[in-house]
Amino acid sequence: MKDLRDRMEQELRELSFIDPDFNLIPLNAGALNRSYRLETAEQCYFIKTFESDEIAGLDRQVLFDIQKQLYDHNLSVRPIYLSKSNHFQIDSWSKRQTLEHSKLSVNETTSFLASALATIHKTTIHAPTLDMPKQWQHYIDLLGSNISENDLFPLDTYTKTWYQECSKGLVFCHNDLALSHVTCHEPIKIFDWEYCANSSPYFDLASCIAINSLNHNAEEALCVCYAELMEQRVSDVVSRVKVMKPLVEFTNRLWYLAAKLTV
Protein backbone atom coordinates (compact mmCIF):
# COMPACT_ATOMS: atom_id res chain seq x y z
CA MET A 1 0.00 0.00 0.00
CA LYS A 2 2.84 2.39 0.87
CA ASP A 3 4.54 1.47 -2.40
CA LEU A 4 1.38 2.41 -4.32
CA ARG A 5 1.19 5.79 -2.58
CA ASP A 6 4.86 6.46 -3.36
CA ARG A 7 4.33 5.65 -7.04
CA MET A 8 1.17 7.77 -7.08
CA GLU A 9 2.99 10.79 -5.61
CA GLN A 10 5.77 10.40 -8.15
CA GLU A 11 3.28 10.35 -11.04
CA LEU A 12 1.40 13.35 -9.61
CA ARG A 13 4.62 15.38 -9.67
CA GLU A 14 4.90 14.67 -13.40
CA LEU A 15 1.43 16.09 -14.22
CA SER A 16 1.44 19.59 -15.67
CA PHE A 17 -1.93 20.54 -14.12
CA ILE A 18 -0.85 19.58 -10.57
CA ASP A 19 1.21 22.05 -8.59
CA PRO A 20 4.37 20.22 -7.41
CA ASP A 21 3.80 21.55 -3.91
CA PHE A 22 0.64 19.48 -3.36
CA ASN A 23 -0.78 17.95 -0.21
CA LEU A 24 -2.47 14.53 0.04
CA ILE A 25 -5.01 14.18 2.85
CA PRO A 26 -6.32 10.64 3.53
CA LEU A 27 -10.10 10.30 3.64
CA ASN A 28 -12.30 7.50 4.96
CA ALA A 29 -11.17 4.28 3.30
CA GLY A 30 -13.27 1.51 1.80
CA ALA A 31 -12.73 -2.18 2.48
CA LEU A 32 -9.62 -2.15 0.27
CA ASN A 33 -9.37 1.02 -1.82
CA ARG A 34 -8.06 4.27 -0.36
CA SER A 35 -9.15 7.82 -1.15
CA TYR A 36 -7.53 11.22 -0.71
CA ARG A 37 -8.19 14.94 -0.96
CA LEU A 38 -5.48 16.40 -3.18
CA GLU A 39 -4.84 20.05 -2.38
CA THR A 40 -2.80 22.44 -4.48
CA ALA A 41 -2.40 26.18 -4.27
CA GLU A 42 -5.23 26.67 -6.77
CA GLN A 43 -7.43 23.56 -6.74
CA CYS A 44 -8.76 20.60 -4.79
CA TYR A 45 -9.22 17.14 -6.30
CA PHE A 46 -10.47 13.73 -5.24
CA ILE A 47 -8.16 10.72 -5.69
CA LYS A 48 -9.07 7.07 -5.33
CA THR A 49 -6.58 4.21 -5.45
CA PHE A 50 -7.51 0.78 -6.74
CA GLU A 51 -6.13 -1.93 -4.45
CA SER A 52 -9.21 -4.10 -5.08
CA ASP A 53 -8.66 -4.68 -8.80
CA GLU A 54 -7.07 -8.10 -8.32
CA ILE A 55 -10.33 -9.23 -6.71
CA ALA A 56 -12.84 -7.46 -8.92
CA GLY A 57 -11.00 -7.77 -12.23
CA LEU A 58 -12.18 -4.33 -13.37
CA ASP A 59 -11.20 -2.53 -16.57
CA ARG A 60 -10.37 0.95 -15.32
CA GLN A 61 -10.14 2.55 -18.77
CA VAL A 62 -13.65 1.35 -19.61
CA LEU A 63 -14.93 2.68 -16.28
CA PHE A 64 -13.16 6.02 -16.82
CA ASP A 65 -14.85 6.37 -20.22
CA ILE A 66 -18.23 5.48 -18.69
CA GLN A 67 -17.78 8.16 -16.04
CA LYS A 68 -17.15 10.69 -18.81
CA GLN A 69 -20.58 9.80 -20.22
CA LEU A 70 -22.12 10.09 -16.76
CA TYR A 71 -20.55 13.51 -16.30
CA ASP A 72 -22.11 14.60 -19.60
CA HIS A 73 -25.47 13.48 -18.17
CA ASN A 74 -24.80 15.53 -15.00
CA LEU A 75 -24.83 12.38 -12.85
CA SER A 76 -21.17 12.24 -11.86
CA VAL A 77 -18.29 14.49 -10.93
CA ARG A 78 -15.82 15.08 -13.75
CA PRO A 79 -13.19 12.37 -14.21
CA ILE A 80 -9.90 14.18 -14.85
CA TYR A 81 -7.05 11.69 -15.01
CA LEU A 82 -6.48 7.93 -14.96
CA SER A 83 -2.99 6.90 -13.97
CA LYS A 84 -0.64 5.28 -16.47
CA SER A 85 -0.74 2.06 -14.45
CA ASN A 86 -4.54 2.31 -13.90
CA HIS A 87 -3.88 2.23 -10.14
CA PHE A 88 -5.49 5.56 -9.25
CA GLN A 89 -7.88 8.16 -10.65
CA ILE A 90 -8.30 11.90 -10.16
CA ASP A 91 -11.78 13.44 -10.13
CA SER A 92 -13.02 16.95 -9.56
CA TRP A 93 -13.75 17.71 -5.92
CA SER A 94 -17.37 17.87 -4.75
CA LYS A 95 -18.45 19.85 -1.72
CA ARG A 96 -21.93 18.34 -1.71
CA GLN A 97 -23.08 16.48 1.38
CA THR A 98 -24.04 12.84 0.92
CA LEU A 99 -27.00 10.95 2.37
CA GLU A 100 -24.65 9.24 4.81
CA HIS A 101 -24.16 12.47 6.78
CA SER A 102 -27.48 14.18 6.13
CA LYS A 103 -30.16 14.90 8.72
CA LEU A 104 -32.94 13.68 6.47
CA SER A 105 -35.64 11.37 7.78
CA VAL A 106 -35.65 7.69 6.80
CA ASN A 107 -38.48 8.35 4.33
CA GLU A 108 -36.64 11.28 2.76
CA THR A 109 -33.46 9.21 2.51
CA THR A 110 -35.19 6.27 0.83
CA SER A 111 -36.89 8.71 -1.53
CA PHE A 112 -33.48 10.06 -2.59
CA LEU A 113 -32.16 6.52 -3.07
CA ALA A 114 -35.19 5.59 -5.18
CA SER A 115 -34.83 8.76 -7.24
CA ALA A 116 -31.13 8.07 -7.80
CA LEU A 117 -31.81 4.50 -8.89
CA ALA A 118 -34.66 5.52 -11.20
CA THR A 119 -32.53 8.25 -12.77
CA ILE A 120 -29.66 5.83 -13.36
CA HIS A 121 -31.95 3.19 -14.84
CA LYS A 122 -33.53 5.69 -17.23
CA THR A 123 -30.15 6.92 -18.49
CA THR A 124 -28.70 5.40 -21.65
CA ILE A 125 -24.98 4.73 -21.20
CA HIS A 126 -22.69 2.72 -23.45
CA ALA A 127 -21.37 0.12 -21.00
CA PRO A 128 -20.55 -3.60 -20.82
CA THR A 129 -23.22 -6.07 -19.75
CA LEU A 130 -22.69 -7.59 -16.32
CA ASP A 131 -22.21 -11.35 -16.45
CA MET A 132 -22.58 -12.08 -12.76
CA PRO A 133 -22.07 -15.87 -12.98
CA LYS A 134 -18.75 -15.17 -14.72
CA GLN A 135 -17.86 -12.78 -11.87
CA TRP A 136 -18.79 -15.42 -9.30
CA GLN A 137 -16.49 -17.88 -11.05
CA HIS A 138 -13.69 -15.31 -10.90
CA TYR A 139 -14.11 -15.04 -7.12
CA ILE A 140 -14.29 -18.83 -6.81
CA ASP A 141 -11.07 -19.23 -8.82
CA LEU A 142 -9.32 -16.75 -6.52
CA LEU A 143 -10.54 -18.62 -3.45
CA GLY A 144 -9.48 -22.06 -4.66
CA SER A 145 -9.54 -24.47 -1.73
CA ASN A 146 -10.58 -21.68 0.65
CA ILE A 147 -14.24 -22.15 -0.18
CA SER A 148 -16.39 -25.13 0.78
CA GLU A 149 -18.75 -27.19 -1.34
CA ASN A 150 -21.56 -26.02 0.92
CA ASP A 151 -20.81 -22.39 0.01
CA LEU A 152 -21.03 -23.28 -3.67
CA PHE A 153 -24.21 -25.35 -3.40
CA PRO A 154 -26.57 -22.59 -4.74
CA LEU A 155 -24.30 -21.66 -7.67
CA ASP A 156 -26.23 -23.50 -10.41
CA THR A 157 -29.61 -22.29 -9.16
CA TYR A 158 -28.45 -18.68 -8.87
CA THR A 159 -26.84 -18.81 -12.32
CA LYS A 160 -30.12 -19.93 -13.86
CA THR A 161 -32.01 -17.23 -11.93
CA TRP A 162 -29.59 -14.54 -13.08
CA TYR A 163 -29.94 -15.29 -16.77
CA GLN A 164 -33.72 -15.65 -16.50
CA GLU A 165 -34.06 -12.24 -14.84
CA CYS A 166 -31.66 -10.54 -17.22
CA SER A 167 -33.54 -11.94 -20.22
CA LYS A 168 -36.50 -9.79 -19.14
CA GLY A 169 -34.60 -6.57 -19.78
CA LEU A 170 -31.37 -4.78 -18.88
CA VAL A 171 -30.75 -1.17 -17.89
CA PHE A 172 -27.69 0.76 -16.85
CA CYS A 173 -27.07 0.11 -13.14
CA HIS A 174 -24.79 1.32 -10.36
CA ASN A 175 -24.76 -1.97 -8.40
CA ASP A 176 -23.17 -0.45 -5.27
CA LEU A 177 -25.40 2.45 -4.27
CA ALA A 178 -24.47 3.20 -0.66
CA LEU A 179 -25.70 6.28 1.19
CA SER A 180 -22.18 7.69 0.88
CA HIS A 181 -22.48 7.53 -2.91
CA VAL A 182 -25.50 9.85 -3.27
CA THR A 183 -25.73 13.57 -2.58
CA CYS A 184 -28.72 14.87 -0.67
CA HIS A 185 -29.44 17.94 -2.80
CA GLU A 186 -30.87 18.29 -6.29
CA PRO A 187 -29.55 17.74 -8.84
CA ILE A 188 -28.29 14.46 -7.40
CA LYS A 189 -24.65 13.58 -7.93
CA ILE A 190 -23.57 9.95 -7.62
CA PHE A 191 -20.10 8.63 -6.79
CA ASP A 192 -18.09 5.39 -7.02
CA TRP A 193 -19.16 3.84 -10.31
CA GLU A 194 -16.67 0.97 -10.31
CA TYR A 195 -19.33 -1.79 -10.39
CA CYS A 196 -21.63 -0.10 -12.91
CA ALA A 197 -22.82 -2.07 -15.93
CA ASN A 198 -25.89 -2.93 -17.95
CA SER A 199 -27.67 -5.26 -15.59
CA SER A 200 -30.92 -6.16 -13.86
CA PRO A 201 -32.49 -3.12 -12.14
CA TYR A 202 -33.84 -5.41 -9.42
CA PHE A 203 -30.34 -6.65 -8.59
CA ASP A 204 -29.38 -2.98 -8.28
CA LEU A 205 -32.29 -2.40 -5.90
CA ALA A 206 -31.47 -5.51 -3.88
CA SER A 207 -27.83 -4.46 -3.69
CA CYS A 208 -28.84 -0.99 -2.46
CA ILE A 209 -31.01 -2.58 0.24
CA ALA A 210 -28.19 -4.86 1.38
CA ILE A 211 -25.35 -2.35 1.37
CA ASN A 212 -27.37 0.18 3.38
CA SER A 213 -28.85 -2.47 5.74
CA LEU A 214 -32.35 -1.13 5.15
CA ASN A 215 -34.97 -2.50 7.51
CA HIS A 216 -38.26 -3.91 6.27
CA ASN A 217 -40.11 -0.58 6.34
CA ALA A 218 -37.32 1.29 4.54
CA GLU A 219 -37.04 -1.50 1.96
CA GLU A 220 -40.77 -1.36 1.32
CA ALA A 221 -40.68 2.44 1.01
CA LEU A 222 -37.79 2.21 -1.45
CA CYS A 223 -39.66 -0.25 -3.66
CA VAL A 224 -42.89 1.79 -3.55
CA CYS A 225 -41.13 5.04 -4.45
CA TYR A 226 -39.10 3.36 -7.21
CA ALA A 227 -42.21 1.71 -8.68
CA GLU A 228 -43.98 5.08 -8.82
CA LEU A 229 -41.02 6.78 -10.50
CA MET A 230 -40.68 3.97 -13.04
CA GLU A 231 -44.46 3.59 -13.53
CA GLN A 232 -44.38 -0.07 -12.50
CA ARG A 233 -46.56 -2.16 -10.23
CA VAL A 234 -45.28 -2.19 -6.67
CA SER A 235 -46.00 -5.92 -6.39
CA ASP A 236 -43.83 -6.62 -9.45
CA VAL A 237 -40.92 -4.60 -8.08
CA VAL A 238 -41.16 -6.23 -4.65
CA SER A 239 -41.35 -9.77 -6.04
CA ARG A 240 -38.41 -9.32 -8.43
CA VAL A 241 -36.26 -7.68 -5.76
CA LYS A 242 -37.04 -10.65 -3.51
CA VAL A 243 -35.75 -13.00 -6.22
CA MET A 244 -32.49 -11.05 -6.48
CA LYS A 245 -31.73 -10.65 -2.77
CA PRO A 246 -30.15 -14.12 -2.33
CA LEU A 247 -27.94 -13.46 -5.38
CA VAL A 248 -26.73 -10.21 -3.83
CA GLU A 249 -25.95 -12.00 -0.56
CA PHE A 250 -24.08 -14.71 -2.47
CA THR A 251 -22.08 -12.12 -4.42
CA ASN A 252 -21.16 -10.18 -1.30
CA ARG A 253 -20.09 -13.33 0.52
CA LEU A 254 -17.79 -14.41 -2.31
CA TRP A 255 -16.32 -10.90 -2.57
CA TYR A 256 -15.55 -10.66 1.14
CA LEU A 257 -14.03 -14.15 1.25
CA ALA A 258 -11.78 -13.22 -1.67
CA ALA A 259 -10.93 -9.87 -0.07
CA LYS A 260 -9.72 -11.58 3.11
CA LEU A 261 -7.03 -13.37 1.11
CA THR A 262 -5.53 -10.07 -0.07
CA VAL A 263 -5.54 -8.12 3.20
pLDDT digits (tens, 9 = 90+) for 213-224: 999 999 999 999
**135: number of Cβ within 10 Å:** 17
Mean pLDDT along residues 154-166:
97
Residue 169 and residue 55 share a domain: no
Please check whether residues 143 and 113 belong to one and the same domain: yes
92, 119, 143: which is the final residue of a domain?
92
Q: Are residues 120 and 219 in the same domain?
A: yes
Same domain, yes or no: 80 and 107: no
Query: Are residue 77 and residue 108 in the same domain, yes or no?
Result: no
Q: Which residues are paired to 33 by β-bridges?
A: none
At residue 81, the 3 state secondary structure works out as strand
Residue 175, domain extent: 99-260
Same domain, 86 and 48: yes
Residue 254 has pLDDT above 60, yes or no: yes
pLDDT at 128 over 90: yes
Q: Looking at residues 142-161, what average pLDDT do you find? A: 94
Does residue 49 contact residue 35 with C-beta atoms inside 8 Å? yes
Q: What is the pLDDT of residue 32?
A: 64
Same domain, 132 and 236: yes
List, for residues 41-95, the tens digit of each pLDDT value. 889 999 999 876 677 788 999 999 999 999 999 999 999 999 998 999 999 999 8
Of the pLDDT bands very low, low, confident and very high (cuts 50, 70, 90), residue 187 is confident
With beta carbons less than 8 A apart as the criterion, state whether 257 and 147 touch. Answer: yes
**What sign results for the dihedral spanned by CA atoms 134, 135, 136, 140?**
positive
Q: What is the CATH number of the domain that holds 159?
A: 3.90.1200.10
Do 47 and 88 belong together in one domain? yes
Domain-terminating residue out of 53, 69, 92: 92
Q: Between the CA of residue 71 and those of 17, 32, 92, 193, what are the distances in Å?
A: 20, 25, 11, 11
Same domain, 152 and 231: yes
Q: 106-122 vs 201-211: helix axis angle to the nearest 10?
A: 150
Q: How far apart are the first and last CA of the chain?
A: 10
pTM of the model: 0.94
- Let me know whether 110 and 204 are in one domain: yes
End position of a domain, from candidates 72, 92, 112: 92
**Nearby residues of 91 by Cβ (< 8 Å), 6 or more positions away:** 45, 46, 47, 48, 67, 77, 78, 79, 80
Number of domains in the chain: 2
Identify the burial level of 112 via C-beta atoms within 10 angstroms of its C-beta, where 0-12 means exposed, 13-18 middle and 19 or more buried: buried
Residues 129, 24 share a domain: no
Shared domain check, 44 and 153:
no
Kindly report the CATH number assigned to the domain that includes residue 34.
Answer: 3.30.200.20
